[in-house]
Amino acid sequence: MLESAAQGTARGMALVRAADAMLRSLGGQELSLLFPMVTFPEDPAAQLGLADPGVEEVQLAPVVIRNLRAESRGTRVRFEFLVPASVVWSKVEERHVSSPEALFELALGIAQDGRLLRIEKFDTEWFAGIAYLYRVTAAG
């Protein structure tokens, strides 16, 4: 039984590498997550909330960006971002957050082509108990 669990883990890790390679070959675009700045200037106006502390831009690449059909006939655009798990895990470690879910929940949104997109949904694709791909749906 132990061998089959090890084989499942090895297969899962192989799929993580395959997803990363596939997304690189499909265009390998870049995604910008926006996070609030955690350090505030020493200016008293900033400490009172009168000044904008700014945002920090975190790049994720490679990413495949898909246009989704809008649910209504407004000017609202929707995108699906396919992000390999290896990229998300590295950003989770860099930003010292507990999970990929927490990373996307802490983000203010996604900057894409001069627009600020709101993250609507976050899905994880699993194989053999290992996450290999994250699907992020955003609209703006």
Rounded to 10 degrees, what is the CA torsion of 46, 116, 83, 60? -50
pLDDT digit string (tens) for 26-60?
Answer: 777 999 999 998 766 677 776 677 777 789 999 99
pLDDT digit string (tens) for 112-137?
Answer: 988 999 999 999 999 878 898 999 99
Report the SS3 class of residue 73.
Answer: coil
Rounded Cα distance between 9 and 25, Å, is 24
Domain spans in the chain, listed from the N-terminal domain onward: 2-39+46-139
Report pTM. 0.80
pLDDT digit string (tens) for 66-101?
Answer: 999 877 666 688 999 999 999 999 999 999 999 999
